[in-house]
């Protein structure tokens, strides 16, 4: 205890420098936790009578079909979107990995989607995918010279969950692929040439080099991408909000509950559930990827 007091005195200035941030963050965390828990456990009856604590919010949520749809939509969104983002990032990273003259410029070009505000991207997609005569429809209908006719009638992209959420997925992947690219590039760059040469002297051909060196050494980066991007997919709000508000994901469902239906308690409840989903899914993914990594190299 006295040791603590001693060091506090000696490092007074440093302590003061660190304190505000700690207080700030703790403050917000406390606020978030407190209100989430208390709101979700407070049931507001139609006559505005409040009951605390009460699990009725959760009860309603678990029994509501909208929630189940939102949950399923979110799950699908994550399961489809994460590999897509990994693939897009991998393609970009492998393209850049080759040593060519305009490499720096192309890398800057590839970072551009990240620079555009998400909201703007969503609106651009709104315009592009307009029904009945947005550009995408026009192209698919074969109205331009450079593309054949693929469909006979224009598609209403906001008409079904599949299309609407699909377009928002497209926007999200487009916007965030530079992040996956950067992480994967860092991973690719960490594999030294020496290791490939050593493998060659020990008799390894291209396929063996890929399987025993490239893939396992790239796996940490791939894992990082999968985990981080999947968390982002769960959290996604802006794209579905602008492009697919009717077809709820958990995020937009929360917003609807809060703003349109004024059900703060239920909104908080869904928020809590969402947080648990994120933690649970990430833990599962983490465990799964670990098994894969170990399984890849065993004598």
Partner 1 sequence: MSEVVLKNICKIFQEKKVVCDLNLTIKEGEFLTLLGPSGCGKTTTLNMIAGLETVTLGEVFVGGKKYNDIPARRRNIGMVFQSYALFPHMTVDQNIAFGLKIQKKSRLEIFEKLEWVKAMLQLMDKGRRYPRELSGGERQRVALGRALVLSPQVLLLDEPLSNLDQELRESMTTELKKIHQNVGCTMIYVTHNQMEAMRMSDRIAILKEGRLMQCDTPMNIFNQPKNRFVATFIGAPAMNMFPAKVTVQDGESFVDIDGIRLCLEKDRSIALLESKGREVTAGIRPQQIFYFKDREGRRHSDTDVDAEILLVEPLGERLMVTAKMGKREMVFFMISDRVPVPGERLSTVIDGRHIHLFDRESGERIALGE
Partner 2 sequence: MTPMKSFTLPDRSTVVWFVTLCVMILVVFIPIYFMFKYSISDRSSIVTGGDIVPLWPYHPTLKTFAFILGYPDFYRAAGVSFKLAMLTITMSMTLGVPAAYVLSRYNIPGKAVLLMGLISVRLFPDIVSIIPVAVAFARLRLHDTYFGAAMAHSLLALPYVLYICMGIFESIPKDLERQAEILGAGKGYILWRIIIPLSATGLAAGAIYTFLLSWDEFIFSYFLLGFGELTTLPLYLKHKMAFAPPQDLLMAISMLLSLPVIVFTMLLQRYMRSGLTAGAVK
φ, ψ (nearest 5 deg) of residue 41: -95, 5
* 229: CB partners within 8 A, 6+ apart: 81, 82, 85, 86, 176, 179, 180
The answer to whether 205 contacts partner 1 (rule: CB under 8 A) is yes
Q: How far apart are CB 294 and partner 1 at their closest, in Å?
A: 10
Residues 263, 32: Cα–Cα separation, whole Å: 17
Contact partner, 55, from partner 1, partner 2, none, Cβ < 5-8 Å per class:
none
Which of 128, 188, 199, 277 contacts partner 1 by CB under 8 A?
Answer: 199
The answer to whether 204 contacts partner 1 (rule: CB under 8 A) is yes
CB nearer to partner 1: pick between 95 and 217 = 217
Contact partner, 46, from partner 2, partner 1, none, Cβ < 5-8 Å per class:
none
Which of 60, 212, 237, 258 contacts partner 1 by CB under 8 A?
Answer: 212
- Give the H or E element holding residue 43: strand 43-44
CB nearer to partner 2: pick between 122 and 163 = 122
Q: How far apart are CB 166 and partner 2 at their closest, in Å?
A: 16
Q: How far apart are CB 297 and partner 2 at their closest, in Å?
A: 25
Residues 137, 19: Cα–Cα separation, whole Å: 56
Residue range at the interface with partner 1 (CB under 8 A); choices 53-61, 149-157, 165-173, 199-207: 199-207
Contact 143, 151 (CB under 8 A): no
Contact 229, 143 (CB under 8 A): no
Buried b (16+ CB within 10 A) or exposed e, 30-53: eeeeeebeebbbbbbeeeeeeeee
Which of 208, 261, 262, 290 contacts partner 1 by CB under 8 A?
Answer: 208
């Amino acid at each position: 205890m006295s040791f603590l007091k001693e060091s506090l005195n000696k490092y007074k200035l440093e302590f003061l420098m660190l304190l505000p941030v700690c207080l700030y963050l703790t403050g917000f965390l406390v606020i978030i936790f407190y209100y989430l828990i208390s709101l979700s456990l407070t049931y507001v009856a139609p006559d505005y009578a409040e009951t605390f604590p009460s699990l009725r919010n959760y009860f309603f949520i678990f029994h509501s079909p909208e929630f189940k749809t939102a949950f399923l939509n979110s799950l699908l969104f994550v399961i489809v979107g994460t590999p897509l983002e990994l693939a897009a990032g991998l393609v970009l990273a492998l393209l850049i990995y080759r040593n060519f003259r305009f490499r720096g410029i192309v890398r800057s070009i590839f970072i551009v989607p990240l620079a555009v505000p998400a909201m703007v991207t969503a609106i651009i997609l709104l315009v592009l995918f307009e029904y009945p005569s947005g550009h995408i429809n026009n192209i698919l209908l074969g109205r331009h010279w450079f593309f054949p006719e693929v469909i006979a009638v224009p598609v209403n992209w906001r008409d079904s969950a599949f299309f609407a959420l699909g377009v928002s997925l497209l926007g999200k992947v487009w916007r965030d692929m530079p992040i996956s690219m950067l992480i994967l590039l860092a991973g690719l760059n960490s594999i030294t040439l020496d290791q490939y040469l050593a493998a060659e002297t020990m008799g390894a051909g291209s396929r063996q080099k890929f399987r025993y060196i490239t893939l396992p050494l790239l796996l940490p980066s791939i894992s990082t991408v999968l985990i981080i991007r999947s968390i982002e997919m769960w959290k996604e709000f802006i794209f579905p909000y602008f492009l697919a508000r009717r077809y709820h994901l958990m995020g937009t469902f929360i917003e609807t509950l809060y703003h349109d239906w004024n059900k703060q308690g239920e909104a908080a409840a869904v928020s809590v559930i969402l947080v648990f989903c994120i933690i649970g899914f990430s833990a599962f993914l983490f465990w799964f990827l670990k098994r894969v990594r170990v399984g890849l190299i065993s004598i």
